[in-house]
Structure 1
Amino acid sequence: MNRRCKELLALCVLTSLVLWNKVGGDPKYYVNSPVCQMPAVNPFTWDTMSDFERKEMRQCHNDSDMVTSEFDFETHQYRLHIHEHLARPILKTKGHATMKCEYREILRDTTAKKPDDNYKQLGIRPIRNHQFVSKNINFMTTNCYVKDAHNHRQVLQRDAISFIQDRLTKKKVKDFEKKQSSDPKQPSVFIMGLDSTSRINLRRAMPRVLKFVSQPGWFEMQGYNKVGDNTFPNLLAILTGDSEEGVKDFCDVKKPGCLDTLNFIWKRFKKANYTTAFAEDCESISTFNYLKPGFVRQPTDFYLRPLLFAIEKQFKVTKDYGYPYCVGRHLSFSYVWDFGQQFIDRFLGRTPLFGFIWSNSFTHDYYEGATALEDLFLKYLKSFEESDLFRQSIVILMSDHGYRYNTLRTASTGYFEERMPMMFIHLPPWFRRKYPHLAENLKTNRNRLSSNFDVYMTLLHLLQLDAKSMADFPDNLRARQCKSCQSLFFELPFNRTCHMAGIAEKWCCCQPTKTVTNLPFAKIITQTIVKRMNEHLISHNLSQICHDFTYKSVEKADRKTILSTGVKPSDKDEHIYTIVFKTLPKNPLFEATVLWNNRTQKLLPMKVEDLSRLSSYKNDANCINEKIAKKYCICKDSLNITSED
């Protein structure tokens, strides 16, 4: 970085610090109680901004669509339009040539053992200009070409189109409209998420999006703390009320059919007569498909995966920010959010809807990817606003966790960066008028400790808004893995601990810490952890493919100070330590939260699976397909001579 760049960066950081101190609210804590002190983290510290750089959006194409779809509101069907004028420059060079377009329908392969990882493609059909699309068609790929007098074909453009088909009966629509006009009790619910986006990085990378979700009606859950390591356990808690560990009591998520048996919240909304939709980009790392078989039965009424799976196999895929960026002519991101827009346009105000759309493509591996996305994301938010989404619906903008690797994670605030995902809840004006006490409770809860399980209970609450307290929720309507968790529409306890919120100590941001890196026992504890890691490899039959670990260094060691009425260890000589350390080979960076007895010099039982990996394992663990084991396996076949030092 040259001198001029450094001067500009220093000015940027200084300006950001001034703005943070001016508008950041409480400068010390998000949550401040006798049992929980969750710090209000400054997003603009030097170690997080030193390499920070805003990125530009790269376009996937610069041509126009030759085939477009349009919804006909009289017939409630889609029409296809062919824009022949776009081919005229080419036709002029071909003599007696004509332009033709055709399509192939894409379907979910329900006969496959793993339908999520398969698709059917029907035969080629010609496209007639302005033709109607059958209501049975959900997805298609299109192909336009020029055919000359010798029947030679030159492909002009391939594309893909999704359709949110309106199959509602007139009676169903009229009944809903009549019910809503007299006494609205069924708010539509729309959840949208960006992977790996902390509330801290949102402020750093997407200030204009933050401004949008700071308007009246939006409530930021600043005391929101994640409950698991990666996407799957955190979304599982929100969507089912289960923990990853707890699900093992019911079925094995690695086997087809397991996910179908879980109490996904969209099932409950479907039973309440809602129309449901689910879409997620980057098919290879989708939440319920990465090292898992996905769903055997289609989970929601509208489900985008069959199309995304098909086109990532058929179209040219270019990668940026680590994952599919352009799939064919369009952003991977846009397929999902256009699908969400169609869903809103088709059903909002005509039937209660529940939508869940999730994006990995920009933010999963690169925290700066959010800067490139900001303009487009804000455009979608404003488009949803123009479609009346925020006037009629409960809307949640959220993430699963913050950035888990490298630059942000190893910064001084990295511990909190990872554990504090963004969580914004929007209440429409009519809801705030009809249920002012619920809105007031949500306002109070902004700065109380909350978790994913509470969000699950909040979604359940929307299906029984007449409930007066949590006592009105029977046991089968509670989060299975956190019976003490509750709806955010009821006031959360002021003296709430992480245990009460279903948050394990490893993820808890409530306890102040004291750095003890340079004390001799920090090295002793770490060496004991490394020994446990090697024992774990042997006991799990991984030592043949995963290299054993050698202690290298303690990067940071913190001792937690348990607050006055918090849950304290039974032995006064036991303390909770969070230790960041390096091992050999390949210098992986790990973080462990452990109990250590200073008197007996012993490490209490620890789960190696609970280790956090703070450096990427993408190039280290290709020999193994166990998602959790990938964190701590250094494959022997990934080693080279220079990686040992």
Structure 2
Amino acid sequence: MFYVNSASCKMPQMDPFSADIMKFFKRKQFRQCSTDRDLLISEFDADLRQYRIKIDDNAAEQLLKKFGNATLKCKYQVIGRKKKSSFPDKDFSLSSPQPISQSFLVPKTIDFILTQCHAVNGKAQLKLLQKDAFLFVQDRLKKPEDPPPDLESKPNVIILGIDSTSRMNLRRSMPKVHKFLQGSGWFEMQGYNKVGENALPNLLALLTGNAEEKAQLNGQLRRGGFIDKLKYIWQLFKKNGYMTAFGEDGGKISTFNNRNPGFKKQPVDYYLRNFVVALESILKTRREFGNAFCLGRRLGFKYLFDFARQFMQRFQNAAPVFGIFRSSSFTHQDFLGATALDQVLLDSLLLYEKLGFFNSSIVMLLSNHGYRNGVTRQRSKSGYLEERLPVMFMHVPSWFRKRYPQYVASLKVNQNRLSSSFDLYMTLHHLLQLNATSMADFRPKLQASQCKLCQSLFFQLPLDRNCSHAGIREKWCSCEPTETVTNQILIKKVAREVVRHMNEHLRYRNLTKLCQSYTLKKVLYMDRRLALTDDSLEDEQLHTYQITFDTNPSSAHFEATVQWNTEKETLAMNADELSRLESCEKYSKCTKDPMIKKYCICKPVK
């Protein structure tokens, strides 16, 4: 059985519930961040088109009982972006406290606030009763009198992201969400293959048409301002009259800020970044699944999906919207984290459906890649495919299906064709020119710069497509079937050469004073990739192997894709493409460079 089955690509279908994975699988329980009642409630006044903060008198009365004649006094501070900071994405501003009245009308200039409610007796503060935070997607349309948008020519575009989630792990961990995604209008791209190692290159491919991996290798992404200079698809949507938003819930592990400085200028109309940074800095956090899970009284994930809800709701029937909302807080570090959030995510999707968002929007629910390290990669051969085959669902509303039956027919076919985030980039371009009849209608400058053969998913992808056609390098390609190598002499020869190349690479990068040299500990397995095309040179002399092995020191786990010349017994490999199959943090603290972290075991400090 195959997800994709053609002469050029045979992507094997894997069992999500195979024994080698299920022996590590255990459902986690969701724990609330807080069980106390809200003292402050945020509401949107539809007549004024403005937010209002109300004090819940009943909740206040219950909390004040133990303080005699005490009264409640609440204040707020505005959370903002510190524009003059060297790195505004890593900072935030906080205003002086201002009082909150019984029914406080929030000025339209305020996006985020931090609140504190105290029991007071006269001027004396007796106790802090509740600390909280609120976000507001304010209506700042310049011309609200304009007629409502024609959604059939400018549909809303919403991208919902779940970090590090494979097609298989979604089925295992989130069966309720998976069942929802089987509903009318949803299409799963079963041949969707990642194009880069971590979140950043995969998201850049989707947003810019270029994974910028050379920039990452050369350290350019760590320079302030580099990220801002790229051309993002949201800029084009903005030029076409869309309101734009971008939000992530993991402050320390967000895509553009994980070991990188992020944006100098706010990139979109509504940007969640500084709010999350402030909350992780100010509020008491609870960590679960390896990351900040609760931000104060509320789930970080809930803030993100409430941001998405408000954004879609605020401009419903008023302006088209383009929004990206990515969650990494519960899936980034732990492949079991998703099990605890199945119902929570489903509740958000059901709410969006109830509010009519899916009727007016093209929605993508996707991940950047599968789980990259830990037990699924170290203990299961299927983990290799899990990493490379992230979840990717697309929803098109009923009116779209009726008006563009030819595009829907293509989506159905493309579900079992090889695709990538470069194709999604072209699909987003297509949504801005829905009258296009073929890729020839797209101007050359709109083409994904790193994949000239990539195309919109609303056009049928070629049956004979291979990974190079989809902008997927051989390292990440899931198209070629493999066979397990059993020749122990050959395995040891290849493995020793791989380790020798790793040590040579440390010398080449001048890292021998910082990082320890490697010795081979053991080979877990080695597979040979079977070429699908009739290439005699590849078959007779050059063999491509995928080798998983442990090294000393520290029993580091690695995976490498290499070429072995059987005649000369020589090896070709790119050490920068090594995969580290466990977290680098414990043994690689001596460097912040994400490329070096992968293959550096730091020397002990003397």
Q: TM-score range by the shorter chain?
A: over 0.9
Q: Match for residue 295 of structure 1? A: 263
Whole-angstrom CA distance in 2 between matches of 1:137 and 1:115? 18
* Residues 595-610 of structure 1 aligned to structure 2 (within 5 Å): 595-604=563-572, 606-610=573-577
Q: Match for residue 434 of structure 1? A: 403
Whole-angstrom CA distance in 1 between matches of 2:306 and 2:145? 24
What TM-score results when the alignment is normalised by the length of structure 1? 0.91
Q: Match for residue 13 of structure 2? A: 40
Whole-angstrom CA distance in 1 between matches of 2:486 and 2:426? 40
Whole-angstrom CA distance in 1 between matches of 2:463 and 2:369? 24
Q: Match for residue 614 of structure 1? A: 581
Whole-angstrom CA distance in 2 between matches of 1:297 and 1:126? 31
Pick from 77, 94, 105: which aligns with 2:78?
105
Offset of residue 473 of structure 1: 1.4
Whole-angstrom CA distance in 2 between matches of 1:248 and 1:632? 16
Q: Match for residue 596 of structure 2? A: 629
Q: Match for residue 39 of structure 2? A: 66
Q: Is 1:130 equivalent to 2:103 in the alignment?
A: yes
Whole-angstrom CA distance in 2 between matches of 1:317 and 1:437? 49
Matched letter for residue 440 of structure 1: A
Q: Match for residue 473 of structure 2? A: 504
**525 and 638 in structure 1: CA distance in 2 versus 1, 3 angstrom threshold:** farther
- Stretch deviating more after TM superposition (41-50 or 400-409): 400-409
| Structure 2: tracts of 5 or more residues without a match | none
Offset of residue 519 of structure 1: 3.1
Whole-angstrom CA distance in 1 between matches of 2:589 and 2:499? 22
Q: Is 1:307 equivalent to 2:275 in the alignment?
A: yes
Offset of residue 308 of structure 1: 0.7
Render the CA deviation track for 1:500-546: whole Å, top value 9, x for unaligned. 11111111111111111443111111111111111111221221121
Offset of residue 98 of structure 1: 1.1
Q: Is 1:175 equivalent to 2:147 in the alignment?
A: yes
- Aligned partner of residue 144 in structure 1, secondary structure: strand
Contact 1:96–1:149 at 8 Å: present in 2 too?
no
Matched letter for residue 538 of structure 1: R
Whole-angstrom CA distance in 2 between matches of 1:243 and 1:569? 31
Whole-angstrom CA distance in 1 between matches of 2:194 and 2:18? 23
Offset of residue 250 of structure 1: 11
Contact 1:517–1:555 at 8 Å: present in 2 too?
no
Whole-angstrom CA distance in 2 between matches of 1:276 and 1:568? 51
Whole-angstrom CA distance in 2 between matches of 1:568 and 1:476? 38
Offset of residue 484 of structure 1: 0.9
Pick from 428, 448, 453: which aligns with 1:484?
453
Q: Match for residue 21 of structure 1? A: none
Contact 1:619–1:638 at 8 Å: present in 2 too?
no
Pick from 372, 375, 386: which aligns with 2:340?
372
What TM-score results when the alignment is normalised by the length of structure 2? 0.97
- Count of matched residue positions in the alignment of Structure 1 and Structure 2: 605
Q: Match for residue 271 of structure 1? A: 239
Whole-angstrom CA distance in 1 between matches of 2:156 and 2:228? 24
- Aligned partner of residue 176 in structure 1, secondary structure: coil
Render the CA deviation track for 1:265-312: whole Å, top value 9, x for unaligned. 111111111001111011111100011110011011000111110111
**495 and 585 in structure 1: CA distance in 2 versus 1, 3 angstrom threshold:** same
Pick from 360, 363, 371: which aligns with 1:403?
371
Render the CA deviation track for 1:215-256: whole Å, top value 9, x for unaligned. 111000001111111111111111111123254699921111
- Aligned partner of residue 591 in structure 2, secondary structure: coil
Whole-angstrom CA distance in 2 between matches of 1:302 and 1:329? 23
| Structure 1: tracts of 5 or more residues without a match | 1-27, 640-645
Whole-angstrom CA distance in 2 between matches of 1:159 and 1:334? 14
- Aligned partner of residue 253 in structure 1, secondary structure: helix
Whole-angstrom CA distance in 2 between matches of 1:364 and 1:90? 38
* Residues 76-225 of structure 1 aligned to structure 2 (within 5 Å): 76-149=49-122, 151-169=124-142, 171-172=143-144, 174-177=146-149, 179-180=150-151, 184-225=152-193
Pick from 304, 315, 319: which aligns with 2:287?
319
Contact 2:418–2:470 at 8 Å: present in 1 too?
yes
* Residues 216-365 of structure 1 aligned to structure 2 (within 5 Å): 216-247=184-215, 252-365=220-333
Whole-angstrom CA distance in 1 between matches of 2:11 and 2:225? 39
Alpha-carbon RMSD across the aligned residues, in angstroms, is 1.7
Render the CA deviation track for 1:614-639: whole Å, top value 9, x for unaligned. 12222111111001111111112389
Whole-angstrom CA distance in 1 between matches of 2:288 and 2:463? 44
